[in-house]
Structure 1
Amino acid sequence: MLKSYFVTAYRYLTRQPGYSLLNITGLTFGMICFLLIALYVVDELSFDAFHSDADRIYRVIETKTSGDGKQTKTGTVAYNISAQGEKNFPQIVASTRAFGMGRANMLNPANDHVFYDDFWMGDNNFLQVFDFPLLEGDRATALQEPYSVVITAEIAKKLFGNKSAMGGLIQTERFPTPFKVTGVLKEIPSNSHLQLRLLFSEATMHSNTEYAQFIASDWTGNGFFTYIKTTEEASIPSLTANLNKLVTSNRTAENANGRTLTLQPLKDIHFYSADIENTLGRAGDIFYVYVFSIIGVFVLFIASINYMNLATARSAGRAKEVGIRKVVGAQRGSLIGQFLTESLLIAFISLIFAALVVQFILPAFNEFTEKKLALNFATDVRIWLGVFGATLLIGLISGSYPAFFLSRYRPYEVLKGKVVNERGNLSLRRVLVVGQFTLSITMIIATFLVYAQLQYVRHKNLGFDKEKLVIVDINSGKVRQSAQTIKAEYAKLAHVKEVSVTSRVPGEWKNLMQVKVKKEGITSAEGMDSYFLGVDENFIQTYEIDLVQGRNFSTAAPADSTAIILNETAAKALGIQEASEQLIEIPAINNAGSPSPLDQPLKVRVIGIAKDFHFQSLHQTIAPMILANAKNPIQYIDYFTVRLSGADLASTISQMEAVLQTIDPSHLFEYHFLDEQLDLFYQEDVKREKIFIASSAATIFIACLGLFGLAAFTAQQRTKEIGIRKVLGASVGNIVTLLSKDFLTLVAIAFILSIPIAWLAMHGWLQNFAYRISISPWLFILAGVLAISVALLTVSFQAIKAALADPVKSLRNE
């Protein structure tokens, strides 16, 4: 019986190539979108889940509440929380910690191959809490000894070529003694929030007297990323309470007040760390996982609607087939099985085509999403089960209405030539077309709004000129000590207009320093939070920032080493309207929400007020900013900023590299253009924009395929009517209007329904930006015009074709 179903289904599909092609094309497009989005979503949802004990691993988070009620979360805690917590609580099977020491140059002493990478140190438990695949080495002892390091296969290849890295030496600028490679990791999965390529043994530090003294009493610091693995039966609320009691008992009342520890499940880190400072990895957004999941289902649903539409539209044409089958003994159940088999066959043919296309475009998709997705036999079996399950569901849903509707025809009515009442059929088709285009137009409106917001972000005046600014990293002590010499040499280059040295730069991808600041003499308040930037006298000119009050720093005024310039927001918060040498105190550095008092409050003078400029992304509002002199005692310089004329960029960059390497030949010249760095703030938004564009294009294409098929069928059904109208004098325009108006009315209704849906969705999305566009009605009108135009073009093709047909051919049998 099953074989008979498939043979019959195959014959029917091959006899109706146009109808079959429309359905297969629509479903294939829908499945391509669904497969790509499904792979992306599953990868996002599986972040950090590949560790065998992922459900028992937690990151320790500290929440700090300031005197004014402001809460700050940080992903780093004190040393003894892991060291003593494991000893005191049997619920903790193992704990591990890691800390970063910035970027450092790495080299293989045997071949002098040098590159820069992040310098991380971890304890010996790291590879026992986390079971990253180890290609070589013993995970139990790899980080046990001082001056040992575990590296990824990529780093091993970079430093040692095709030779075995085990036992090889890596020299860094952080320590005079080289480190021995004691383990080689397989590449870290892209769906891990930990992306460490080199991990040096923390045991190296234990011989350092100052470090040993520090960790012995460190209960209050925030220097270590700390993870614990618990027993299966551990009560997390109880363990959290016990950890807090342990920490509180080892802190003074002042240090313990307003500070609490929480345990964040490993699997939650990716999606629920946006409000946590000092966190690792790229923070995900569960909202977009939901959005993309809905989009994937919508696109597939729209493709399924096409099948239902076309099948119900063609139901009258198959009425006699059903009648004859029933006369010769076919039961309704067998007819339902036959029609469902047809839809399942189309669904699985579409799946095969979709899988082939996905294989072809997956490399580009991976580059776009920065992932390593794959659809092959090694792919997670759950994905394959989901894909086949979705295909089966599509086949059943797509064919369900046609199957149950067609199978109920009464043979004696059909064979007598009676036309089955299609009023319900027409109503259903109208509802489905409206549903299709409502979703499609909603996607178009969302795409327009996302595009408009990102264009606004790209072109908004940031308060400084970001174009033609080159940022050069200062990565060595020699370069830092000779910064003024290098700056002077850069200024002599023909195509260099301005040069500045700073501790950080606007658009900083590292953590911008924050300090507490208050007017001198005020003792009741701890001070307001303010960002802190060390800059020289050329900063204002180089960035082309407007100075609205006072003056700039001057090399002719040695006392300016204790002078500051406030941005307008800081000046307003401090109640300063005019810069006139007011004395300001900086009593503390704000370390992850916890003020670290300076030995002596830094007293500075306000000499200028700068116009507000955006030094973070437009997701955040402009905050108070102190521009301190580059010679300040809080933060040393870390960057050169060079404004170029724009001519002969390549040659100028090469000359800048040569200048730097005359000072420090081993120094790697690292640079980037600031506008490109600022664009990285919106990298995820740009990805989402492209996904919206692709999804919108797919939905409107699939919907138009269905509309094309329905228009063709309608024209075919009304062939004789069109012939009679033409004989009676109807023009081509009259015929086209006749055939198009019903479809365009449905699209217009869909447009009206899509407006509130799109407005609500996009209003919520825009709240993620502190600076955003207003939702213009013109964007909705443009989306409606586009959708109606595309629908008109789709329908008109068939309408014009029918209108131009010779009426004699359609009427010759009458």
Structure 2
Amino acid sequence: MFKNYLKIAWRNIKRNKLHSFIHITGLAVAFSICILLFLVAYFHLSYDSFHKEKDQLFRTSRFVNNAQGPEVSSQMPLPAAAALEAEIPEIETAVTVHRAMPENFSYGDINMERLITRTDPDFFEIFNFPVIKGNSATILSGMHNIALSESTANAIFGETDPIGKDLKIGKPGQEQIYSVSAVLKDPPKNSSIHFDAVTRIETLYGYAENKNNWASNASNVFVKIAKNHGPGIVENKLVSFVEKYYPEQLAQLKSEHSEAMETLELLKVHLTNIEDVHFSGERSASIALVYAIMALGAFILLIACFNFVNLNMAQSFKRSRELGVRKTLGAFKGQLFLQLWGEAFLLYFFGFIMGMGLAYQLVPAFSAQFGGGIEIATLFQPAFLVIMLIVFIVVTLIAGGYPALKMANFGLVEILKGNVSTKKPGALRNTLLVSQFAISSLLICVSWIASQQLDFLREIPIGFEREQVISIPVGYQEDGRTVLARMRNELAEDPNIISIAGAGGNLGRGRDRTTSTSITGLDYNQNQISAYSLLADFDYLKTLQIPIIKGRDFDPNFATDTINAVVVTESFAKAMGESDPIGKYLGGEGADQIIGMVPDFNAYSPSEKELPILIHLSNDETINYIFLKVGTNDPQVVMERLESVWEKVAPRSLFNASFLDENLQAWYEMESTLTRVFGIASAIAIFLSCMGLFAISMLVIELRTKEIGIRKVMGASVNEIVSMISLHFLKLVLISLLIAMPLAWYAMQNWIQNYEYRIAINPLTFIGVGLIVAVIALVTVSFHSIKAGNANPVKSLRTE
């Protein structure tokens, strides 16, 4: 019997080739996009889930309610880990993890840059990074022991056993010798902790000066809480911990807030579970965006399901006599349901398999385009396959089962008399069409408004010259100050080079894909100031064309400029409470002295919280980037010239130059991804909706063939016939727009509130979307309505 059901189902699919093609194509596209979007969400939601005791692992963060507004940072002082472990019994282990920074690794003639993470010896007791070679209990027992990732060990040593081998790490003249104690499996992509090598925190530059400094916040602290103890117990004890170790900062915060406030409202240390770290802190992923991506996948699949239900319900009236004959011959409702649902299952199965195949082909391009970090192998992970199988079964049972159940329940007498009512299915059909176009319109509005916000951010004046300024990362195989001096000598007579400067950090994100933030806290006349700290060299302001408002620029003729001179922005002076900060000292006589004031500029993305900026020089700190202001209309010639010079001045460092305007685009990666994802999703949604509308309009016209013939005989023109049919569907589209637009406005109004700089949503956007959707729907329906209007009424009246 089952074989017979399959035969009948296959015959019906072959007989209705157009409808079957629409079904399978729509389902394949919907399933493929749904799978790709779910892969992205699955990747982000699986972050750090590989740690065995993940429920007990937490990262600490600081909340500070200072005069400039509340701040949250995951950066903690170096002594915090030991103090937490000593003060709070429920904390089994606490480790300091200094974020991975690129450094130069040397072994024989081999030199390469790799990321090195510095931490405590207990690191491998709480985190599960598998050890391939070496003793896991003694990996960091020696002060200069180092564990290498598998890929790094292979790149340096090849087939040679690396255990016990010595490596030189650091810039030329500053190298330290490390002994390889272990080889670790490469950390997975869905890990919040990345490294190419792991060594002791004591080898960190400046560790001796800051190991007891509670004002220096530069590392993460992770804690493992004992079993049967929740984080709430620990957080309650962290109040007294803060009062003990942050007395001066607490006193300062209380003086800034005249109203009586509890310790928790002023300064607190709180815990974030390891699985939530990916979605919290500075430059973190947005969990709201991940849920939005999942919703997108569900919406697109929902539209395809609506198409399926609509088409099946519309076709049910064409098959009513077939069903009536089967009932007359003794078929039960259950048998009819299984037969009809079997047809739906076959169509869904074909669509699902084609969707899987399409997703398999698109995974590499999709991952590269949207930075999802997804891999083809994830498609075949048991957990992900189970999720997609459940989605397939649920969708098939609901979207395929509902029409099958309704058709199996048709009354025998009504079927044979031809009195099957179309009223309720017509209402369902219209509801589903409205839902489809409402979702499509919502996605188009979201995509359009997100694009407007992105364009607005890109056009915001950032306060420095972005055109014709080249940024070159020095890398970690050369000394930045030496390279900078050589560059100045080599290019001193080049007419295309206006100025050259060095800096500790980049502006935007260059081709080395590295970005870093340094935030310093200062106390000036009882005013707590948080500011971005920028390391620069002479001619930094000149190269970026940042004007001096008061005071002067850094000058090589002033010997003290590299010791205690700083330049600040207007907002920094405002936070000080000084209209003229020139000559003032930050931290008392002999400390940093302000020699100049410049207008505010965006050292970091305008979408992030804006802080005052303090620029300083130093003879000791590392120059990591070189900026060049060029004065030519042929940038390619300048790039070629710089590349040849770079080979002379920095032979061991890769030439990775880029223009600042290119770098700054990386500030808007999340917004660009959001715009692209929603743009593609809205295009697919409107495509699927139009496919459904195309098929539904054809079936509706078929059901009204005789009516149209009678109207033509009675004198109706082609235009009147076309208008009658088109207006019916345009009314549905108008209703969908009335539903979608308020939802889009509300959602995007909340989204843009996250930005310091934001657009005002223009009502013309919704009018434009409405016109686009209406025209697309009208064009889709017009094909069949014009064909019906031009048909011979005699043939229409004879049709069965």
Instruction: Give the Å deviation of 1:437.
Output: 0.4
What SS does the corresponding residue of 1:314 show, helix, strand or coil?
helix
Structure 2 counterpart of 1:593: none
Match of 1:158 among 147, 152, 155: 155
Q: CA shift at 1:340, angstroms?
A: 2.4
Provide the rounded CA distance (Å) in 1 between the counterparts of 2:107 and 2:37. Answer: 42
Query: 781, 787, 794: which is aligned to 2:773?
Result: 787
In the superposition, relative to structure 1, how do residues 695 and 482 fare at CA in structure 2: closer, same or farther (>3 Å)? closer
**Identical-residue share of aligned pairs (%):** 28
The structure-2 alpha-carbon separation of the partners of 1:547 and 1:732, relative to structure 1 and needing over 3 Å to count, comes to farther
Q: Could you tell me which residue of structure 1 aligns to residue 638 of structure 2? A: 652
State the partner residue of 1:18: 18
Question: What SS does the aligned partner of 1:52 have?
Answer: coil
Look up the match of 1:701.
687
Alpha-carbon distance in 1 for matches of 2:423, 2:100: 74
Paired with 1:162 and 1:468, the residues of 2 have a C-alpha distance of 46
Is 1:712 the counterpart of 2:706? The answer is no
Q: SS of the counterpart of 1:465? A: coil
Which amino acid in the other structure matches residue 709 of structure 1? Answer: A
Residue ranges of structure 1 left out of the alignment (5+ in a row):
275-281, 588-597
Find the aligned partners of 1:219 and 1:660 in 2 and give their Cα distance: 41
| 1:266 equivalent in structure 2 | 274
CA RMSD in angstroms, aligned pairs only: 3.3
Q: How many Å separate the matches in 2 of 1:79 and 1:303?
A: 55
Corresponding letter in the other structure for 1:409: F
In structure 1, what is the equivalent of residue 488 of structure 2? 487
- Following TM superposition, by how much is the alpha carbon of 1:362 offset from its aligned partner in structure 2, in angstroms? 0.6
Give 1:136's aligned residue.
133
- Segment of structure 1 superposing worse, 42-51 or 616-625: 616-625
Partner deviation per Cα, 1:270-323 (whole Å, 9 max, x = no partner):
11224xxxxxxx512111122122222111111111111111112211111221
How far apart are residue 738 of structure 1 and its match? 2.6
- My pick for the range that moved more, 47-56 or 251-260, is 251-260
Q: Is the 8 A contact 2:550 2:582 kept in 1?
A: no
Distance 1:244 1:425, change over 3 A: closer
* Distance in 1 (alpha carbons) for counterparts of 2:755 and 2:273: 28
Deviations 1:589-629 (A, max 9, x none): xxxxxxxxx894323344xx53332222121364433445x
Structure-1 residue corresponding to 2:518? 512
Cα distance change of structure 1 residues 5 and 553 upon mapping to structure 2, 3 Å threshold: same
C-alpha change, 1:238 and 1:332, in structure 2 (3 Å) is: same
Equivalenced residues, count: 777
Matched, 1:430 2:438: no
Residue 2 (structure 1) shift? 4.1
Amino acid at match of 2:353: I
Contact 2:501–2:626 (CA under 8 A) maintained in structure 1: yes
Residue 340 of structure 1 is matched in structure 2 by 341
CA distance in 2, matches of 1:556, 1:93: 56
- CA–CA distance in 2 between the matches of 1:635 and 1:201? 22
The residue that corresponds to 2:512 in the other structure is none
Alignment partners' CA distance in 2, 1:547 and 1:212: 37
2:116 alignment counterpart: 119
Say whether the 8 Å CA contact 1:570–1:624 is kept in structure 2: yes
Change beyond 3 A, Cα 1:481–1:385 = closer
Give the conservation status (yes or no) of the 8 Å contact 1:63–1:261: yes
Q: Distance in 1 between matches of 2:645 and 2:449?
A: 46
In structure 2, relative to structure 1, the CA distance for the partners of 1:252 and 1:683 (3 Å cut) is closer
On the 8 A contact 2:507/2:663 being kept in 1, the answer is no
Deviations 1:24-82 (A, max 9, x none): 2222222112111211112211110111111121223344454x495444324344543
Residue in structure 2 matched with residue 463 of structure 1 by the alignment: 463
AA in 1 matched with 2:248 = E
- Deviation per CA, 1:511-561, whole angstroms, max 9, x where unpaired? 13435374xxxx4x2353343445556334422335556665555666877
State whether structure 2 residue 755 is matched by structure 1 residue 755.
no
Q: Distance in 1 between matches of 2:279 and 2:609?
A: 23
**Structure 1 residues 617 and 218: CA distance shift in structure 2, 3 A:** closer
Unaligned runs of 5+ in 2: 252-262, 510-514
1:161-195 CA distance string (max 9 Å, x none): 45554444432126644323332223321111111
Between the aligned partners of 1:664 and 1:5, the Cα distance in structure 2 is 74
Alignment of 1:82-93 (within 5 A): 82-83=81-82, 85-86=84-85, 91-93=90-92
2:599 paired residue among 611, 622, 635: 611
Q: Structure 1 residues 64, 457: CA separation in 2 closer, same or farther (over 3 Å shift)?
A: closer
Give, in angstroms, the shift of residue 783 of structure 1. Answer: 1.1
- Aligned equivalents of 1:450, 1:771: Cα separation in 2: 13
Deviation at 1:329, TM superposition (A): 1.6
Q: Is the 8 A contact 1:115 1:668 kept in 2?
A: no
> Structure 1: how far apart are the matches of 2:505 and 2:664?
14
What SS does the aligned partner of 1:270 have? helix
Q: Against the structure 1 CA distance between its residues 144 and 778, is the aligned structure 2 distance closer, same or farther, given a 3 Å change threshold?
A: same
1:464 aligns to what SS in structure 2?
coil
> Partners in 2 of 1:50 and 1:773 — Cα distance?
41
Change (3 A) 1:527 1:428: closer
Note closer, same or farther for the CA distance 1:262–1:456 as it changes in structure 2 (3 Å cut): closer
Q: Closer, same or farther in 2 for the Cα pair 1:129/1:303, shift >3 Å?
A: same
In structure 2, the CA distance between the partners of 1:131 and 1:668, relative to structure 1 (3 Å rule), is: same
Cα distance in 2 for residues equivalent to 1:163 and 1:154: 13
Secondary structure of residue in 2 paired with 1:194: coil
Residue 266 (structure 1) shift: 0.8
Tell me, in whole angstroms, the C-alpha distance in 2 between the residues paired with 1:515 and 1:85. 23
Distance 1:556 1:129, change over 3 A: closer
Residue 286 (structure 1) aligns with? 287
Structure 1, 263-272 or 614-623: larger mean CA deviation: 614-623
Partner of 2:613: 625
Q: Is the alpha carbon distance of 1:178 and 1:744 closer, same or farther for their aligned partners in structure 2, counting shifts above 3 Å?
A: same
Q: Secondary structure at the match of 2:278?
A: coil
Deviations 1:198-249 (A, max 9, x none): 11244768xx9x957964x566653543222233223433344456656765
Question: Within 2, Cα distance between the matches of 1:537 and 1:726?
Answer: 86
Q: Cα gap change, 1:517/1:642 in structure 2, threshold over 3 Å: closer, same or farther?
A: farther
Structure-2 residue corresponding to 1:278: none
SS of 1:330's equivalent? coil
In 2, distance between residues paired with 1:87 and 1:636? 35
Aligned to 2:398: 397
1:355-377 deviation digits (Å, cap 9, x = unpaired) = 00000001112223434434558
Q: 1:115 to 1:671 in 2, by over 3 A?
A: farther
Instruction: Report the TM-score when normalising by structure 1.
Output: 0.87
AA matched with 2:23: N
- 1:254-403 equivalent positions in 2, closer than 5 A: 254=248, 260-274=268-282, 283-374=284-375, 379-403=380-404
**Structure 2 match to 1:592:** none
CA spacing shift, 1:54–1:717, aligned 2, 3 Å: same
Q: Is the 8 A contact 1:517 1:530 kept in 2?
A: no
Q: 1:131 to 1:459 in 2, by over 3 A?
A: same
Q: Give secondary structure in 2 for the equivalent of 1:583.
A: coil
1:797 is displaced (CA, Å) by 1.8
Q: CA deviation at 1:584?
A: 1.9
Pairs within 5 Å for 1:709-748: 709-726=695-712, 730-748=716-734
User: Closer, same or farther in 2 for the Cα pair 1:349/1:746, shift >3 Å?
Assistant: same
Displacement, 1:107?
2.3
Asked whether the 8 Å contact 1:343–1:396 carries over to 2, the reply is no
Separation of aligned partners in 1, 2:654 and 2:414:
86
Partner of residue 586, structure 1? 586
Contact 1:310 1:706 in 2 (8 A): yes
Match of 1:227 in 2: 222
CA contact (8 A) 1:307 1:399 kept: yes
AA at the equivalent of 1:187: D
Whether 1:197 and 2:201 are equivalent positions in the alignment is: no
Shift of 1:634: 9.7
On the 8 A contact 1:612/1:622 being kept in 2, the answer is no
